Chains A and B, each alone.
Chain A
Amino acid sequence: MKTRRDFIKISTLGLGATAIASGTAGVLFGSPIFGNKNGTGESGPLLRRTPTYCEICFWQCAGWVYKDETGAIKKITGNEGDQHCNGRFCPRGTGGIGQYFDEDRLKTPLIRTKVDGKETFREASWDEALDLIAKKMKEIAGKDGPESVAMFTHGSGGAHFSQMLKAFGSASIAAPSFAQCRGPREVGFLTTFGDIIYSPERVDIRDTRCMVLIGSHLGENMHNGQVQEMSDAIDKGATIITVDPRFSTAASKSKYWLPIKPATDLALLLSWINVLIENSWYDKEYVERHTQGFDQLKEHVKTFTPEWAYGITAIDPNIIRETAREMHDASPSVIVNPGRHVTWYGDDTQRMRAVAILTALLGSWGRRGGYYKPEKLHLPIFPVPAFPMPKKTPELAYEGKYKFANEVVANGLCDATLPNFDGSLKIKAWIVNGTNLLAALPNQANTLKAIESLELLVVVDTMPVELTGYADVVLPECTYLERYDMLRNSGHRKPNLALRMPAAEPKYNTKPASWIAKELAGKLGLFDWFPWKNMEELLDWQLKQLGSSLDEMKRVGVKNYPREADDLYFKPDEEVTFNTSSGKIELYSTDMVNEGFSPLPEYTPHEEPPEGYYRLNYGRAPMHTFSRTANNPNLTALMNENVLWVNPKVAKLWGLKAGQRVKLKNQDEATSTFSIKVRITERIRWDSVYMVHGFGHNNKKLTRAHGRGINDTELITRVNIDPVMGGTGMRGNFVTFITDFKEEGKEAEA
């Protein structure tokens, strides 16, 4: 019998270790800057700066942290030599200092304990906390194998903990960025072109003549380099076509806005393919030279005329033809943008296949203004023994399913934790770093059920996110401004490296992930896999193999290397071999058909909202990343809660007033814990509502975020799994308004 895992707000009974405030003025990190030597032109004899790359989102822009005369962190700006940001940080990066200064941060290790029958946390020393984790990990490994210890990660800490876990014998390591986000896109392109999109995306926006955004709201999702290049493209007069049921910021910058009926994008894509083929508006030479399966495709889309699509999408057939013509005219400098968060309806890989096919017909893969070939450095690995072979690979957690998943499926590991799971790899312990799974995975109730059956839950984070309340051990990680991490090695137009080094000592009793992983490895007897003295030694060794050094990187922050051989684009007349079964671009996917999936994308209608319900759509705001910035003092000053976009017609029907608070209930009777403010706006269709993801936090210790707005994942109880790769389609949920309610959640605890 397991005791129920009560949610514990991060507070304490015991007073074991006292939090140590550090960052004393006596220690000055970084080199003083004299004159005007750095690219940004910042000057002043006492300003000191250290290089970093940002951790507020996955774009990981490289920048400089500036400190004032007292050694206090003052501001962060972009590194001009960095291809991710070109010297300009986005609002979240600029506001990144808020993460360091946030007084709600986790401050010391915590261990779950029972006092007078009530579960609570007590403060602990690092030694004690890590001893306990090591003991439990060994126990579980002895009983169920090391593979039953899984990790979920998002961000730079992952590399350190992965090293530890792989040495321990487990490869059960997942990031929600695959099956909850960009997975279908990678698989859709992989099966078509034999290669993925990567991050940052290989889209050549700066030189494009036409860009199509499908449900992707660049400008609201602040993918820095892409937003910058889109702005350049606007300057150069590129045509932007935005497909979105919501009048997004990007839509407002577009020549064409196609206000599509939600969940019908695939019909539009098929119809565009039809128009390109029927009018011979595709790149014949490219298609002939590089692709296979054109005839099957042509036959397949014959009936998908704009008139057919009109009945489904509500987009005027003439506009479908006109926009197809725009793409043709711009070809090959045209980007049908694959977007990033594309797990919508469960047939997402097929939708992304349609995007890839369109890309191939327009001849824009490997062409200027379309998709370029990114190049990445081969970063030497510090010599360590080979990792032990896990007896059970993570795929055994979802045996026989998700055949095309080229990364581990996070929801697969979560489901393999559920009490009734009887597959080959049962998960017993979670180490979670840098991701609040209660907001990152859909269907919160399901995640909680899995958590309840865990034998060990370790949460490593900087903030008391909800998940920490369910942990057995909470480990407070220091922020990215207080630590070294692995080098950022990203594929881009030029291969490049970026350094993150501490700008200040860790505040409180927090530690870098690199230290935590190494210490834990030591307690597990795995020191052989961490033979370096410290991060400086590791990084310096790596950099020296590449003709640089830690000293040099401290001065420059970013180093761009020349490309090895390749051009950015295919050369004229180049015979390209694609990494697919046929060696060609597969318009018709033999791999898909071999695994029992449709070789050509097919439109299937998705469920529509019942009477009185509206499709729940969600997205991003430029000043927040997921749920991780919701308590950041600088960024909450810009936006401290999400609001619910409601069409005026709907508002009238329900008698809703602007600014009124409502709760939401979905088709499965799941009700939001908190309420949300209504924003009545013409910018949304009458069949859907919209909110920014990442709010509605339920931990009181997040003083600025608690109870502000609604957490959409509470309402995403119906998840349409993509059978191809395990993606969690989250846009098939429908909500209705509750106007008469009490704000219970807020008064729950004194």
Chain B
Amino acid sequence: MRYAMAVDTKKCVGCSDCVVACQTENNVPIGFCRDWVVEITDGTYPKLEIEIRSERCNHCDNSPCVRCCPTGASHYAEGGVVLVAPNKCIGCGACIASCPYGARYPHPDGYVDKCTFCLNNRVEKGLNPACVSVCPTKCMYFGDLYDPNSPVSKVLKTRKFKTLIPEAGTKPQLYFLI
């Protein structure tokens, strides 16, 4: 099993509902976030383009954060999802520094926190991650890459996509449909 997510930049309007839904679902303290929206404008008036992306942890196959964690708090869980075990985390911040995507933040309770793909609280119960199920534009697809019928596999078969900073060699599992 290999969980992955695809975000359709052609449909995302950058409303940030994914951010709020994650916050209330996962009790993310206000002022921090596990996911966020990036908007990039290109061109000059009136020849313009915008790309809008809902971003989060890339749950990389080759995660620098897991490699550099001195206590083993950062680890691969079911389906390749990268998780942090708060009880093992000493809050040293090495993972924060190592992540090329800036996906992690120091939780005020003393550990490092990040996107979990809602693995334990939703995905294991057969639900989509909170961000995917709330999105008004239905621009996010989630599922098992090894299952050809999962929404994410299906959409990656039919659409052009890219990943972020592939040159970092982290093998990210967050895909952006372009």
Contacts and interface: CB of A to CB of B under 8 A. Distances in A.
Interface of A: 36, 40-43, 74-78, 87-91, 94-95, 97, 218-220, 222, 224, 227-228, 230-232, 234-235, 247, 249-253, 257, 259, 622-623, 633-635, 637-638, 647, 681-686
Nearest to B137: A231
A89 B125 contact: no
A40 B31 CA distance: 28
B48 A683 contact: yes
Interface of B: 10-11, 13-17, 19-21, 23-25, 30-31, 33, 41, 43-46, 48-50, 52, 125-127, 133-139
B137 to A, nearest CB: 4
A95 B20 contact: yes
Contacts of B137: 219, 227-228, 230-231
B152 to A, nearest CB: 16
B95 to A, nearest CB: 23
A230 B15 CA distance: 14
B13 A622 contact: yes
A622 B137 CA distance: 12
A247 B24 contact: no
Q: Most chain-A CB neighbours within 10 Å: which of B10, B19, B24, B31?
A: B24
Nearest to A87: B133
Nearest to A246: B45
A329 B50 CA distance: 28
Given A231-B139, A252-B50, A94 B133 contact: no
A230 B136 CA distance: 10
Contacts of A637: 23, 30-31, 33
18 contacts: A74-B24, A75-B24, A77-B133, A78-B134, A90-B17, A218-B13, A219-B14, A231-B13, A231-B137, A234-B10, A247-B41, A247-B48, A252-B48, A253-B11, A257-B46, A623-B16, A682-B43, A683-B45
Nearest to A220: B13
Contacts of B13: 218-220, 227, 231, 249-250, 253, 622
Contacts of B50: 247, 249, 252, 683
Nearest to A85: B136
Given A622-B16, A623-B16, A683-B41, 5 more contacts: A36-B125, A622-B15, A623-B20, A647-B45, A682-B44
B24 A685 contact: no
Contact of A638 (B20, B44, B49, B52): B20
Contacts of B48: 247, 251-252, 257, 682-683
A727 to B, nearest CB: 28
A87 B135 CA distance: 10
A41 B17 contact: no
Contacts of A623: 15-16, 20
A247 B10 contact: no
B33 to A, nearest CB: 8
A610 B52 CA distance: 36
A503 to B, nearest CB: 14
A252 B15 CA distance: 14
A655 B17 CA distance: 36
B134 A94 contact: yes
B134 A231 contact: no
Contacts of B139: 231
Contact of A90 (B10, B14, B43, B136): B136
Given A247-B48, A247-B50, A253 B10 contact: yes
A259 B10 CA distance: 20
**The 10 residue pairs across chains A and B that have the minimum distance between CB atoms:** A219-B13, A622-B15, A231-B137, A75-B24, A91-B17, A252-B50, A259-B46, A94-B20, A95-B20, A247-B48
Contact of A228 (B21, B46, B127, B138): B138
A78 to B, nearest CB: 8
A622 B46 CA distance: 24
